[in-house]
A and B are shown apart, each in its own frame.
Chain A
Amino acid sequence: MTGETIATAVPWAARAPGERTLDERFEEVFDRYFGEIHAYVAQRLGPDHAEDIVAETFLTAFRKRAHYDPSRAGVRAWLYGIATNLIGKQRRLEARTLRALGRCGPDGDAPGHEEAVALRVSAQSLRPDLAAALAELDRRDRDVLLLVALAGLSHDEIATVLGIPYGTVGSRLSRARRKLRVLLGTHVLEATHG
């Protein structure tokens, strides 16, 4: 691996001129995106397993760096795609995390790390139903929804990094949102009349 470099066209991070090794650039990529990739994984799988998956995400990125095409997606979106695929292999863990999110967490108290999972949601009563609705979504629909809602990726970024047609992104997203909106509408009605 020594002396191995990747094409300068690959914007791993701030592209510095000169002969910088991949290792150095890879570390920059890591430093720059660790925080948000970790947050995304911790949101979906809980903080306890996030470090495993995040490490795996960056290792996969490193291994697949030759297949990365900077003209199609930014590094950030690409990392989100890898993380999403790895999360997809942990379905039971994700279901468990969603169940936990639906409840309120166990007695936490400052200043521990427990408050890291923020427990505030505007309508507390909505929480369990929303989490259940998310858990019931098809995994692929949920992936798209969360890449939009949590990562803020665009449709073409999602299409690229998940390797699905552009139109499919839209249809999966609408299906997921339709289900959630039905739920939200029901709640508004209940709040009004109940």
Chain B
Amino acid sequence: MADPRPPASDAPGPRSSSVPEQSGPAPDPRSFPGGDDLRAVRDLYGHPAPAPYAQARVWRRVAAGRRRRRLTRLSALSLATATAAALAVALMLVRGTPPAVPGRSILLAAASTAASGQQAAYWHISRVHDGDRLTELWATRDGRAWTCTFTPVPDSSLTITSTLSPTSSPVPDSTVTITSTLAPTSTPVPDSTVTITSTLAPSSPPAASASDPGRATTPAPPSGPASGESCAGHGRVVPVTGRAPFTMAGRDLTFRQIQELPADPAALKERVAAMLPAGSAGLLADALSGLLWSKPSPPAVRAAAYRALADLPDVRYLGGRADPLGRPGEAFSYPLPTGVRRTLIIDPATSQVLAGADAGGSGGSQIVLTAGWTDQAPDLR
């Protein structure tokens, strides 16, 4: 690093600096001519944002590790995660001895129920993601949409009421507690437990709001959760701007495009398959089932989606199973191209999807609290 030249004369200049010069100017990588390749790379990787509270969570681990001088054993950890995932898949396989015919008839029954659904002013869904995050989405026919996300802070509890109550008789009227760590794939920090307490509402009719057709102009009685029980009671409802509120296989989908989907199962399957990116045929089951719950599909389209799913070879019936809130339903699963197996629990009597969970990968889960049409507007404060 020593400058080979004799000590510089007393004339100060840039060359007399003791800081070693770099062997040439460092080009700004972003100003390379023809940087299309670099831009394509950036586009490919996108801009993943951290999950809510990720920074606080990671800081807690860093601070703890600093104190203890103990590092997370990443390899051991990944192994544990992989083992758990493999175990989950294995369990699912054991349970999933497929009586193919009942599964098909269940889906067709759900299709019949779905076909008779009604529409109202707002399509609304509220869901618990991964046991620790509550989101709501409203969408209207004219393409407007609003969302709200709420993550309970650690050690707090949130009482949520589901209006998707099962129609079958064994309804627990007690409180169900879901205890989940905030970061399922990372080392659980003891104080990072969030308890979401859900009280089922056995008396409310299924899809309460949708059962009030013809009252589109008069305000319906509140059918959504009360203020303390909804995301909107905790967080801000914000309009969705700059992008479509729905996606299918990563592609934006507008409200109108969803309304224009064909109501014939074969035509729907063909249309959805055509919308998938090249080489993503394995996403067909997921894209079709997305029409059942995460999108404002017209009743006839939902029915067609159920019928199309009933004919897909990779959809497997796992038998009757209660969702994490204890609501009884029927479990179906299908593989994703990522190697993850996604299980949906549906209630054929209401045609609603109650919950979804992934085995493998990040092991994500969603629990649907409310889904369907309502005349109750989002609380835009």
Contacts and interface: CB of A to CB of B under 8 A. Distances in A.
A108 interface: yes
Nearest to B340: A106
B246 A103 contact: no
B49 A116 contact: yes
A129 to B, nearest CB: 10
Contacts of A118: 46-48
Nearest to B28: A154
Nearest to B282: A103
A136 interface: no
A156 B30 CA distance: 15
A92 to B, nearest CB: 9
> Which of B19, B22, B74, B136 gathers most chain A CB within 10 Å?
B74
Interface string A49-68: 11111111011101100000
A126 to B, nearest CB: 7
Report the contact-size class of chain A (Cβ under 8 Å from the partner): 35 or more
Contacts of A107: 247-249, 283, 286-287, 289-290, 294
A146 B65 contact: no
Given A42-B48, A111-B137, A130 B78 contact: no
B283 A104 contact: yes
B144 interface: no
B66 A59 contact: yes
Interface in B41-63: 41-51, 54-55, 57-59, 61-63
Contact of A122 (B40, B48, B145, B295): B40
B101 interface: no
Contacts of A148: 29, 38
Interface of A: 1, 23, 26-27, 30-31, 34-35, 38-39, 42-44, 46-56, 58-60, 62-63, 71, 86, 89-90, 93, 96, 99-113, 115-128, 130-131, 134, 145-146, 148-150, 152-157, 166-167, 177, 180-181, 184
Interface of B: 19, 22-23, 26-30, 34, 36-38, 40-51, 54-55, 57-59, 61-63, 65-67, 71-72, 74-75, 77-78, 127, 129, 133, 135-137, 145, 147-149, 183, 185-186, 240, 243, 245-251, 276-280, 283, 286-287, 289-290, 294-295, 336-338, 340, 342, 361-362, 366
